[in-house]
Structure 1
Amino acid sequence: MTDFTVWKTAPFNAVIDHILQRYHHVHRAQLDELVPLAQKVAAVHADTFPAEVAELLAQMQSELLSHMMKEERVLFPMVGQGVGRGAAMPISVMMHEHDEHDKTIARLRELTNNFDIPAGACGSWTRLYRLAEEMVNDLTDHIYLENEVLFPRVLAS
């Protein structure tokens, strides 16, 4: 887990800029590579690779892109305008979606045996699990920063 101490007192616009640069842009790039890579591994290793991994990553990409767009177009501008508790409804929606992301992460960890690379896995399969684990760790930190640092501060302002 990343140390989020600096974000507990940073101005909201700095926290949001950090989220956009460190997480939103990174997640888009990660998923752009992960989804086709998972589809490739699923096709080549159909007899041994859990096909649901490719489906979950594609679902995660779709849901996360939608989620981030809502934050970027609705919630973050509201926070920037200083609406405070007026952002309670969109924050509630985002937190519910974070719970859904957590469920998807748990299923992905289960299917991949916590990203344990199987003996004899090819380079693509190895890359897939390493990148998926990195993305999941980033997403977990991203959710924590919003749920435990940014959102409570916004609602208290």
Structure 2
Amino acid sequence: MLISTGISIGVVILVIIIFCIRVIFERRKLANVKKQYFQQHGGMLLFEKMKSDQGLSFTVFTEAELKQATNKFDESQILGHGGNGTVYKGIIKDITEVAIKRSALVDDRQKKEFGKEMLILSQINHKNIVKLLGCCLEVEVPMLVYEFIPKGTLFDLIHGKN
């Protein structure tokens, strides 16, 4: 009786240990994939530029932050669809309203140029252009985070819907 109880407890402990080891390996694998996407999209170039230019106001968001901001990209948060993807409304850090552009697939050439484009776009500051606040690079297709403009789309303003 004691031997069978001991063997049963041992087997349960062994199964728990194997499960924990598997979870650890899966998390490491996911972290490596995110790191690979980050480097592929020019994340290192962005971070180097951000360190050297103290006046550069640009944020690299995590996928978790953007999922939380958009309630896991809920359909009720969709602002619009376009040929290049979907735009969601989100709230970052419970105070800042943002528009998050989740693009459709991007080819390899565009992935390599993404970091350079982000540097250029983040430096544009004009009253008639929506400001790029940051991006998320740890996903297969990078997401862009813009300031939220509550007065509707440019199409609505031009064609008099507002």
Give the alignment's TM-score, normalised by structure 2: 0.23
Q: Which has the higher contact order (CA 8 A, sep 6+)?
A: 1
Give the alignment's TM-score, normalised by structure 1: 0.23
- Which structure dedicates a bigger proportion of its chain to helix? 1
